[in-house]
Every structure is written in C-alpha cells, then in structure tokens.
Structure 1
Amino acid sequence: MSSWLVTEKRSWPEWLALQVLKVGPIPKHLALIMDGNRRYAKLHEQETFHGHIAGFKTLTYVLAWCRDLGITEVTSYALSIENFKRSKEEVEGLLSLASNKFEEVLNEGENLAKHGVCIRIIGNLDLLPTYLRAQTAEVVLMTRNNTKCFLNLALAYTSRDEITAAVRECAIAISEGRLQETDITPRLLEQCLYTAQSCHPDLVIRTSGETRLSDFLLWQSQFSCLFFTKVLWPELSIWHVLGAVFHYQRHHHTVVAARKQAKLLYDRYELEADQACSPDDPECGCDGTKARKIRVERFIADLVERREKTYHALSTQLKEIKKQQQESCEQEQKSEASGRVRVIGECGERVVSVSVADPSLLKRVQQRMLLEAN
C-alpha cells in the first residue's frame, strides 16, 4: 500500500535551492492541473490506467516538496466533469483508482493527524458513484480537525458547475425571502463556492505544455500567478516546482497589487448595495449594512450546515455499505464451506447444502436423494 505522505532525503543541491527560495515570498496556496498522464502511458507503451497511477505517485512527491517549501495548501485537479466523456474503461479505471486511494487515506488517519493534514473535496459529489461519494465524506470528516496543511481534491469538478451551483443557491434564497437582490455581491458568491474555506491560489501550475486552465478555479485564479511547463505530469521533478516558485517570486508584487485593487472594488460593491438597500427588518432598523450582514450570515450559516449534514449522511451510508459487504463476505465463506448437491429426477430438481467436512455423508445424501427422486 502506497502512502499519501512521502518522506524524502534532499540532495545537497536541492536543499540549497530550497533555502535560497525560502528567503523570498513563498506561495501559501498552490493549485495543480495534472495533465499528461495518458501521453506518459502512451510514450512508455503502457495502458492509460498505469499513467494515472504514475500521476498519483507524482502528486505524493509534490506534496512532500510543498511541505519542505512551506506551502500550506494544495488544490489538485483530480477529476474533471469533462473526464466522464472519455471511454468507459478509462472512467471506470479512474474511479476505481480514486476509491482505492481514499481507502488508503482512511487507513492512514493517525499518520495524517500526526502531520496535521486536512483533506477537503471540491466538486459535484452527486456525479460520483455511491461508494466513492461516501468515502470522500468519511475522509473529509476524519481529517476536518487537522489544521497544519490542507489538500483540496477537485473531483467531478468544473468552474462552470461550481459557479452555477453558487448562483443557484443565491437564487433560491432570494425566492424564499432569505436574501435580497442587493445582497448579491462577488464576495457573497465566493462564500457559496466549493472553495469558500480556502484562500485564492497564489500559484497555478499546469504540465504537458497546454496553456489553458481547462475550467479549473476560473473565479479563484483571476489574480493568481500562472506557470505552464512542457513536462508531462508523471515526469515532474522538484526542479520544475522550484522553478515555478521562482517565477512566482518574480511576479509577486504584481499579484499583491492586483488583489489589493480587487479588494477595494469588492468593498465598493458592498457599500453601493448597502446604500441601495431599504431594510424592513425590525431587528435592523434603518441600518442597511447591519441588515445585509445579518441576512448574509444567516444564509451562509444555513448553507454550511446543509453541506455538513450531507457529509454526515454519506459517512453513515459508508458504514452501512461496509457492514453489508462484510455480511456478504461471511455468507460467501459459509457457502464455500458447504457442498451443494443437485439431483434431477422424475419429480423435478432438488438442491441441498451439506457440510463437506465428511465426504462419506455427502455421498450418502446424494444416493438417498436419487432414490427419492426416482
């Protein structure tokens, strides 16, 4: 069983490069578009599935490099909704690999807690198979109290789907009277996204030479530093990551300035919304800002609570599924420990189960049934 937490001894050049880079600004949040697994498999004359296995191994190494650099949050584009359009064999392979890896996570709970690793899932879980969906919920609940570093896995995810879901939540709240139209601001929409608990990525790395985001964190990466490299994902080395961090450091001042400007713009949007608001809530009087904050806080609290309930329901479902699997396995073992005698006679077909511990008994039962059948 491979571990999600890899420990490597750094070479002298690697250690020196790490120390030099850590003098400058280090991204807090790194986003990864892991592209090139299929091409890697084809290049090495292997089945596509082996390319995805190699890709997962690379991810574990990248997490170790991030830990050494001091990057505390990583978001990985593990499975796009668009991937479901691929061949049935490849999709089933991807889902099977994901399920196996999540099972490993569930067996590594103590180790993850020791290193303070919190795993979050972002994406439309309804598109995943029942068992995998339940596994993801159990992983989220198991690691939720770990706060040292964070791994966000994008499963069944696209930005379009994420933004659509956020807008739908707001639209429903307006129709039910829990929000007003003037409450809808960019900041509120951000709080409705799957990534609401995370800061925006500082650096986005995409491998394989493609220079597009492929519907990944489009909202969140509007002020991120982008780094594209031609290397295939399974071939990514620590030097590629160090090069990406150096690229980020060169453009750090631009990213910071853009985010400050965006914050001022968001503040202006909310101020205009407050001025346009005429609250009729008796609790708020005529203070538009207070009225909006109370409505938004209630709405977000309700959204978070519903998502929490979903995770707990799925976690319970996983326990029930595992219980059924265990009972089924025990039943199969009992069946294997018994012999089934099938006798066809004039009166029809009869089937009987007897213990195979006594072969002579099995023979006598078979002879007796033949006599009765004829």
Structure 2
Amino acid sequence: MFLLRGWRWLVDKATAKARNLLINVLAAGPIPRHVAFVMDGNRRYARMNHKAVRQGHADGFIALRKMLDACFRLNVKCVSAYAFSIENFKRSEDEVSALMALAEEKLAELCSHGDLLEQYGVRVNVVGDKSLLPESLQKAVKKAEDMTRQNNNAIFNLCMPYTSRHEMTKAVETSIQKSISSGKEEITEEDIYSQLMTSLGGSPPLDILIRTSGVKRLSDYMLWQSCQDTQLQFSTTYWPKFGLLDLIPVILDYQRKIWAQRLSV
C-alpha cells in the first residue's frame, strides 16, 4: 500500500510538472483576451457513464473549475461560460431545481477564501436575467459579485439564465431610453454594444468561442459578441471530460492565425 501511494505521488507530480511546462510554452505565444465556453454534453456524459443527470452536471462544474485554472494561468483576461439558458427552464422541475442548488453550492465554493478566484484576482459577473433565479441563488450571486468586485486581474462571466436575444433586446431598450433622455436622434452600433451585459461587466471582445460534445450551433449564446473576428471551435469531447489536452489545439490554432496575420502586414 505504501509503495502504491508513493507511485501515485510520483505520477501526480510528473503530470503536474508536464502540465505546467505545457502552459508555460503556450503562454509564450499570443494569448486570447476572452474565451467563451458552451458547456455541452453533461447529460449525455451522465447517461454514457450510467450516472444520474445531477452528477453529470456536478462533474461539469469540476471541468469548469479546471478550465478556469488553465485559462487564468495562461493569462486569459476573461472567461465566459454558458451555464444555463433561459430556455432550460422548460426542462423537468427536478432537473432545474437540482441545477439551481448545484449552482448555488459551486458559486459559494468558487468564491470561498483562498480559492481559485481569489488566487487569480478574478471578478465574477453573473450574466443574464437574474430575476428568474430562485431567491436563495440570487443572494448567492449578489454575494459572489460583491466579494469579487474589487478584483481586477481577470473576469469570469457565469452566464445564467442567459440568451443572446434577451441580452440584445435589453441593450436596444436601454439605448433607446438613453437616446430619448439625452435628445440624441440616432442610435449607433456602439451605443448598443456598450449596453450588452458583457460590455457593462468590462469584458474585452470575444476572441474564441468553444462548444463541446460535437454539436455545431451557437444556441443563442453571445451572437452579437461572436459576429466579428471570433474563432468558433467545436470539440467532440463531452464537457465533463474537456481538459487541457482539448484546449491546447484551440490555443495553438489561435496563435497560428495571429502569427499569420502579423506576417501578412
């Protein structure tokens, strides 16, 4: 038993060392400012592994934590994650309730003293129609946002409950109201962009959008933000299994394109 534990310790140490080396090599090249994830495949992963759906979502949060760590170690300034669509409220009451409880639990865990967000100085923005969330989760959201409001090294946008149509509708409505109150006769693209939830939260332009599980659609996620100069990447890996080895080809592809653009100037 002692030898087995010693062997596992050596393997874990070697794995961590290799992981750190990979991250350091990647960090030497151009790094995207903003990476967004559509965390797809939790339920299919659960069914494939004979797990309860809730456990599939719980494993998805573990994957999110690992991906946040990898991105912030790479000096990505903003990470956005599509955790729950407004349309997801149409799912079964049991699944929605389980997801809300899980989100509350994991949000508190992420923001606990000495945890990942504090380690990297990350500001939390919960992006979406927060009025639709249960009262207890709304309180947890406010606490997380207030606790991290002074952090300015990086941003984490937890998008729930969110759809791009809702975000753009609210941005247009606010732009119209501001235009009427100021007497401005024209509403520009910049006016609307400035009122998007991600813009209000200080997020930089979106460089990469990654969707897992092999599905190739955006599902009403960051449609405005991804309409120009955003690289769309689709992975066949289910989200709970998505890790650094899945992220590396995406970052390398981004770096290759950036270098090609620089050489063509």
TM-score > 0.5 by shorter chain: yes
Find the partner of 2:254 among 248, 254, 258. 248
* 159 and 179 in structure 1: CA distance in 2 versus 1, 3 angstrom threshold: farther
**Matches of 1:110 and 1:209 in 2, distance apart?**
32
Alignment of 1:256-271 (within 5 A): none
Q: Which amino acid aligns with 1:24?
A: G
- Structure 1 residue 151: Cα displacement: 0.9
1:318 matched to which residue of 2? none
1:149 matched to which residue of 2? 154
Find the partner of 1:55 among 55, 60, 67. 60
**Matches of 1:51 and 1:84 in 2, distance apart?**
18
1:171 matched to which residue of 2? 176
Find the partner of 1:129 among 126, 130, 134. 134
Identity rate, percent = 38
- Structure 1 residue 178: Cα displacement: 2.4
Find the partner of 1:186 among 184, 189, 201. 189
1:24 aligns with 2:24: no
3-state DSSP of counterpart to 2:95: helix
1:236 aligns with 2:242: yes
Find the partner of 2:82 among 73, 77, 81. 77
**Matches of 2:46 and 2:40 in 1, distance apart?**
12
Over residues 99-153 of structure 1, what are the superposed CA-to-partner deviations in whole Å (9 max), with x where a residue is unaligned? 1122334543787445312111111111111221122112111101011221110
Q: Which amino acid aligns with 1:195?
A: T
2:41 matched to which residue of 1? 36
3-state DSSP of counterpart to 2:182: coil
The answer to whether the Cα contact below 8 Å between 2:214 and 2:234 also exists between their aligned partners in 1 is yes
Over residues 254-299 of structure 1, what are the superposed CA-to-partner deviations in whole Å (9 max), with x where a residue is unaligned? 889xxxxxxxxxxxxxxxxxxxxxxxxxxxxxxxxxxxxxxxxxxx
**Matches of 2:74 and 2:100 in 1, distance apart?**
31
The higher-RCO structure (CA 8 Å, 6+ apart) is 2
**Matches of 1:106 and 1:113 in 2, distance apart?**
7
**Matches of 1:247 and 1:58 in 2, distance apart?**
22
Alignment of 1:89-128 (within 5 A): 89-108=94-113, 112-128=117-133
**Matches of 1:253 and 1:180 in 2, distance apart?**
42
**CA-atom RMSD in angstroms:** 2.2
Find the partner of 1:226 among 216, 221, 232. 232
Give structure 1 stretches of 5+ with no counterpart. Answer: 1-7, 257-374
Q: Which amino acid aligns with 1:232?
A: Y
Structure number with bigger Rg:
1
Q: Which amino acid aligns with 1:19?
A: N
Q: Which amino acid aligns with 1:180?
A: K
Give structure 2 stretches of 5+ with no counterpart. Answer: 1-11
- The alignment of Structure 1 onto Structure 2 pairs a total of residues equal to 248
**Matches of 2:126 and 2:117 in 1, distance apart?**
16
